[in-house]
């Protein structure tokens, strides 16, 4: 039996065909455009993404040949939201990316409730998440407001639009529901307080379902969609994150440093509390610190410095570069633990040397990792001295810098595509067995230079300017 996993990301959609031994039989990728129509606006075309998924799904079916496909799963970017028609399933807005902070001005009347919201939802009040994006559109589009009143529109994450279009069934898995600021993480249902605060009718939202849930068959095939989940949760499970107290990080377009906290949620100011895994019988929770600007930071710098993507190769550019400069990336805001919305980039003690700026930008990812790990320690979590890492931005220059400033051993496993493997583990019920041998093949980055003064300069800078 084979399995299909769709990994839908910010800039591309990937598909994988796995056999029952966890081996990749075939994989393919289709890139798509992330538009930036205005400052702090980031959006994509949901139909373009849907079409990419349909093409890739069909390709995997063909490549499977005579071998039956047991089931399929979808992992996806988490905080991308949109409106679409309940009946026709046609998008009514673009898919507003997790990087987008256009909703900042819509949160003014809700700011005084941010502490209570965090306690209920486990999530900070930020324009990057669902409820403020809902408010933005309702406040700026009278037609949307009327159609919501007439119960003709759904509002939800891109994942819900896609599953609705793929299977005719609509739902929001509770790992992504955590990103709405409307979800009561303690009770696993929509929060009446949050719904009333943001003016969101429950009829406008998809029903909440577990991560492992049968949505029905995909694109008129006989293959059932049985897992839908957030990409960072999938990557964490791919890193064996279902073991309690395990610590891991995934450095992709954005980054997430994650800690499994077991069967009950832990609400920590500065960090996000999320559901890591769920089925009809159980839930596992995690706390995480998110970094908005990871690989997306280097795409941004490519445009800023007019560098061709093939020539960027930031790891090679910066590996022998030293700088006293500090770069605080503001174009998509800073998430954990500061939670500052989009602002102008802050450059300190950086001259016109392009490569020094790129090095300082890379170091900002390391500093934010340091700050998130410090929050774990401050809150007395049992944190290992080893940090397991994965993702496309997990390159040697960055990982050695993180090892130096955190004084942790950074373990980069050789197995790629951890996000897809995380979904496969759930589909196949092989949480410990899938690709176990490959997970033991690691590259270790051990601490060398301490860089204590540079960490102090980062904290002085970020506390002065933010």
The CATH number for 135's domain is 3.30.420.40
Structural contact between residues 174 and 167, judged by C-beta atoms closer than 8 angstroms: no
Residue 456 resides in a domain: no
Please indicate, yes or no, if residue 166 is contained in any of the structural domains: yes
- Please, which pLDDT band fits residue 436 given cuts at 50, 70 and 90? very low
Q: Does 414 reside within a domain?
A: no
Assess contact for 184 and 197: CB atoms under 8 A: no
Whether 458 is in a domain gets the answer no
> 21-25, 148-152, 205-209, 238-242: which range is least confident on average?
238-242
* 432 within some domain: no
User: For residue 172, which of 163, 302, 414 has the smallest C-alpha distance?
Assistant: 163
Domain containing 90 equals 2-230
For the cut 90, the answer to whether the pLDDT of residue 110 exceeds it is yes
Closest to 261 measured CA to CA, from 240, 233, 238, 242? 242
In this predicted structure, what is the pLDDT of residue 118?
96
Distance CA 7, CA 229 (A): 10
The reply to whether 360 falls in a domain is: no
pLDDT value at 438 more than 90: no
Q: Is residue 28 a part of any domain in this protein?
A: yes
Q: Per-residue pLDDT for 230 more than 50?
A: yes
The pTM assigned to this predicted structure is 0.91
Q: How confident is the model at residue 449 (pLDDT cuts 50, 70, 90)?
A: confident
What does the DSSP assignment read for 265-323?
----TTSEEEEEEE-SS-EEEEEEEEES-SHHHHHHHHHHHT--HHHH-HHHHHTT---
22/152 Cα distance (integer angstroms): 42
pLDDT at residue number 144: 96
Contact 188, 178 (CB under 8 A): no
pLDDT digits (tens, 9 = 90+) for 273-294: 999 999 999 999 999 999 999 9
* Beta pairing, strands 12-19 & 2-8: antiparallel
Q: What average pLDDT does the segment 36-41 reach? A: 92
Question: Residue range 65-82: average pLDDT?
Answer: 96
pLDDT at res. 435: 46
Question: 251-255, 285-289, 329-333, 379-383: lowest mean pLDDT where?
Answer: 379-383
Q: Is 109 exposed, middle or buried (0-12, 13-18, 19+ CB in 10 A)?
A: exposed
How far is the C-alpha of 401 from the C-alpha of 448, rounded, in Å? 9
Q: What is the pLDDT of residue 306?
A: 95
Categorize the per-residue pLDDT at 440 as very low, low, confident or very high, splitting at 50, 70 and 90: low
Is the pLDDT confidence value at 217 over 90? yes
The mean per-residue pLDDT over the stretch 414-435 comes to 81
pLDDT band for position 432 (50/70/90)? low
- What's residue 434's pLDDT? 46
Cα-Cα end-to-end distance for the chain: 53
* 331 is a domain residue: no
Confidence of residue 437 (pLDDT cuts 50, 70, 90): very low
Number of domains in the chain: 1
């Amino acid at each position: 039996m084979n399995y299909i996993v769709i990994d839908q990301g910010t800039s591309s959609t990937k598909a994988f065909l796995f056999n029952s031994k966890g081996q990749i039989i075939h994989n393919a990728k289709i890139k798509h455009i992330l538009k930036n129509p205005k400052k702090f606006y980031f959006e994509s075309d949901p139909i373009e993404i849907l079409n990419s998924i349909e093409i890739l799904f069909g390709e995997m079916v063909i490549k499977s040949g005579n071998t039956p496909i047991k089931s399929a799963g979808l992992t996806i970017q988490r905080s991308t939201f949109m409106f679409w028609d309940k009946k026709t399933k046609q998008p009514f807005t673009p898919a507003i990316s997790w990087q987008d902070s256009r909703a900042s001005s819509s949160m003014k009347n809700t700011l005084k409730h941010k502490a209570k919201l965090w306690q209920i939802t486990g999530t900070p009040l930020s324009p990057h998440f669902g409820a403020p994006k809902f408010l933005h559109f309702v406040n700026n589009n009278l037609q949307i407001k009327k159609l919501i009143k007439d119960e003709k529109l759904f509002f939800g994450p891109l994942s819900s639009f896609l599953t609705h279009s793929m299977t005719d069934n609509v739902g929001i898995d509770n790992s992504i529901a955590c990103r709405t600021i409307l979800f009561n993480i303690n009770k696993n249902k929509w929060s009446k307080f949050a719904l009333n605060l943001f003016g969101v009718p429950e009829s406008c939202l998809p029903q909440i379902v577990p991560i492992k849930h049968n949505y029905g068959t995909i694109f008129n095939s006989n293959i059932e969609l049985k897992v839908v989940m957030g990409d960072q949760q999938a990557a964490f499970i791919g890193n064996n994150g279902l073991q309690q107290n395990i610590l891991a990080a995934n450095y992709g377009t954005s980054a997430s440093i994650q800690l499994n906290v077991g069967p009950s949620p832990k609400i920590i100011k500065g960090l996000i509390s999320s559901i890591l895994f769920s089925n009809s019988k159980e839930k596992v929770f995690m706390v995480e610190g998110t970094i908005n600007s990871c690989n997306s930071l280097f795409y941004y710098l490519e445009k800023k410095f007019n560098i061709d993507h093939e020539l960027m190769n930031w790891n090679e550019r910066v590996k022998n570069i030293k700088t006293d400069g500090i770069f605080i990336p503001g174009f998509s805001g800073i998430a954990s633990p500061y939670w500052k919305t989009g602002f102008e980039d802050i450059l300190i003690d950086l001259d016109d040397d392009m490569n020094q700026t790129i090095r300082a930008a890379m170091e900002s990812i390391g500093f934010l990792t340091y700050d998130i790990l410090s929050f774990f320690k401050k809150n007395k979590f049992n944190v290992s001295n080893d940090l397991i890492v994965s993702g496309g931005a997990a390159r040697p220059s960055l990982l050695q810098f993180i090892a130096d400033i955190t004084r942790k051993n950074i373990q980069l496993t050789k197995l790629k595509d951890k996000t897809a493997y995380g979904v496969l583990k759930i589909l196949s019920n092989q949480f410990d067995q899938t690709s176990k041998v490959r997970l033991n093949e690691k590259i270790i980055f051990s601490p060398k230079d301490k860089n204590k003064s540079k960490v102090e300069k980062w904290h002085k800078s970020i506390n002065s300017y933010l």
